A and B are shown apart, each in its own frame.
Chain A
């Protein structure tokens, strides 16, 4: 077990708790930077995909895990990001501007949508945001001049200061671009959590009434959380559009919103780690299912049969198992395992018996 001796207030303000922790993250970063030379192009694409999920996941984690507001509508804000970005790129706005702008515009749209919706609590909020998700597909089809209707849009190649890149031609460059955005979002997220606004978010989550009694403006803070969350969703959406190459209304359907929520629940609500763990699961699951399906088929000599709906089925099973057996998600499980080894042999079974659902915000006076 490690004891950290804090010698100044900065020990609690710094990004890393102690030097070994900083070294671990540096090592992880080094691996991420070396990744294009470690794995082949196919898996680099998969890694890029995971990072895009992680960006969106961080956005949703901020909202659900840290601010306690449910959202089943985040695919809509990813769509805003994707369509805004491609439209801006085509009208000649340089990519260095169009990418951040698509995040910001998604954030602004998020705030506008949030203001009426965020008066609702818990399940009602979930239903209202679900409605946003359902409407998105129709809106995309209606707004044909900008969205290309059911045909969709094709993402142009990215021009970054004269250097052309796209997902297939230069997968390494695209991977680094995604990694950079991931790191920036991560940095901002970490900063927020150690600043007053981040504490106001968690205050909202745990007790609106006393947050208010401490001077937190509930509506403004909720709208800020929703807006920031949508900025990340918009950035992820823009990258997803470029990653997919072509997209239409079906790219941003309800299933995507549900997957996003699944991701952070599986990863572990209320921690940034959870967003990444969840992204790895969600990002690799289709591959995993495909590979294991082929394996099973070969084993029984069935040839390549496709079972419709298998993916959703496996998702559902995973989610239900997590909610039943590990409500704290993968990150929660990891913390338990780590604590077990740190305290060995003194680990008590009930050590972590204090969890409560984060989705509950309905508690008044």
Chain B
């Protein structure tokens, strides 16, 4: 079944068509990757799904219901979680607090109960914490639990951002370049994690990534974009050998997988 669907979506920034009539759907339980040269419009697709921008044309559906009427802060309540290309963590908070913010969509208590820290708030806190601890164990962040983000190395921050998205208990996870800036070993970890997220947690993944090793290792299907337009869709091998894709990467002076 299709979990997330884009239908003929177009977005313009002034004269620039960042996303040009793009359609694709991500099936439940699938790992779907977006690839393409810099400026292809991949992150913009994510920002459209997060409702940061309104598409000029087209529709975005979650489980066959349009999300275009929703505000961006309502999107997470559907079970859509994301990471950012340029890591957007809460710098002056600890890892634990960051992950607990991920629980915000499950908040049940009201203002008054929280001001008095009513027993039910305490119970909720314990439950949130239990979920967060599972994520911490899964991503091996135990050593960093009480560390402030501002003091963490880049690679760890990447993992914390993934952890925060997982703490929301998403149905679909949007990962914007999860492996960029990571070492070979860290990228290897990322491959295992994405596989586990799909297989063990049953979470659907939509991923933007330049590292073709990662893309090839985890993706069920791959969509190549260039200049906002779809070039090719299929398995990672099919897309990599597609003439239009090779052409697009040559046009930018690069080779697929470079970045």
Contacts and interface: CB of A to CB of B under 8 A. Distances in A.
B76 interface: yes
A208 B126 CA distance: 26
A224 B50 CA distance: 24
Interface in B110-125: 111, 114-117, 121-122, 124-125
Given A199-B104, A214-B101, A354 B151 contact: yes
Interface of B: 47, 50, 52, 71-77, 81-82, 84, 88-93, 96-97, 100-105, 107, 109, 111, 114-117, 121-122, 124-126, 128-130, 133, 148, 150-151, 164, 168
Interface stretch (A93-101, A125-133, A149-157, A189-197): A189-197
Contacts of A195: 109, 114, 117, 121, 125
A333 to B, nearest CB: 18
Contact of A191 (B72, B97, B116, B130): B116
21 contacts: A9-B130, A12-B129, A13-B122, A191-B116, A195-B125, A196-B103, A196-B104, A199-B100, A202-B92, A202-B93, A203-B101, A206-B89, A209-B84, A210-B84, A212-B52, A213-B50, A213-B75, A214-B164, A215-B168, A216-B104, A354-B150
Contacts of B84: 209-210, 213
A74 interface: no
A145 B104 CA distance: 46
B130 A207 contact: no
A197 B129 contact: no
Contacts, number: 118
Contact of A13 (B115, B125, B150, B151): B125
Contacts of B74: 215
A192 B107 CA distance: 13
Contacts of B76: 213-215
Interface of A: 9-10, 12-13, 188, 191-192, 194-200, 202-203, 205-207, 209-218, 224, 270, 354, 356, 358, 365
Contacts of B117: 191, 194-195
A211 B107 CA distance: 14
B125 to A, nearest CB: 5
Given A12-B96, A217-B73, A354-B151, A207 B89 contact: yes
B148 A210 contact: no
Given A203-B90, A206-B89, A270-B92, A214 B116 contact: no
A95 B229 CA distance: 68
Nearest to A206: B90
Contact of A207 (B75, B90, B114, B116): B90
A215 B77 contact: yes
Nearest to B133: A9
Main secondary structure of the interface of B (DSSP, over half): helix
B114 A197 contact: yes
Contact of A210 (B88, B107, B124): B88
Nearest to B122: A13
Main secondary structure of the interface of A (DSSP, over half): helix
B8 to A, nearest CB: 24
A305 to B, nearest CB: 46
Contact of B115 (A12, A188, A209, A218): A188
Given A195-B121, A202-B92, A214-B102, A188 B150 contact: no
A195 B118 CA distance: 10
Contacts of A216: 73, 101, 104
Contacts of A211: 90, 101
The 3 A-B residue pairs with the shortest CB-CB distance in the complex, in nearest-first order? A215-B76, A195-B114, A210-B88
A210 B125 contact: no
Contacts of A210: 84, 88-90
A217 B82 CA distance: 16
B115 A194 contact: no
A180 to B, nearest CB: 16
B128 to A, nearest CB: 8
A10 B90 contact: no
Contacts of B114: 191-192, 195-198
Contacts of B71: 217
Given A188-B116, A191-B115, 11 more contacts: A9-B129, A13-B126, A196-B128, A197-B111, A207-B88, A213-B72, A213-B84, A214-B102, A215-B105, A217-B73, A356-B150
A114 B114 CA distance: 22
A209 B97 contact: no
Contacts of A224: 111
B242 to A, nearest CB: 31
A34 B125 CA distance: 36
Contacts of A213: 50, 72, 75-76, 81-82, 84, 88
Nearest to B93: A202
B88 A354 contact: no
Contact of A200 (B101, B128, B164): B101
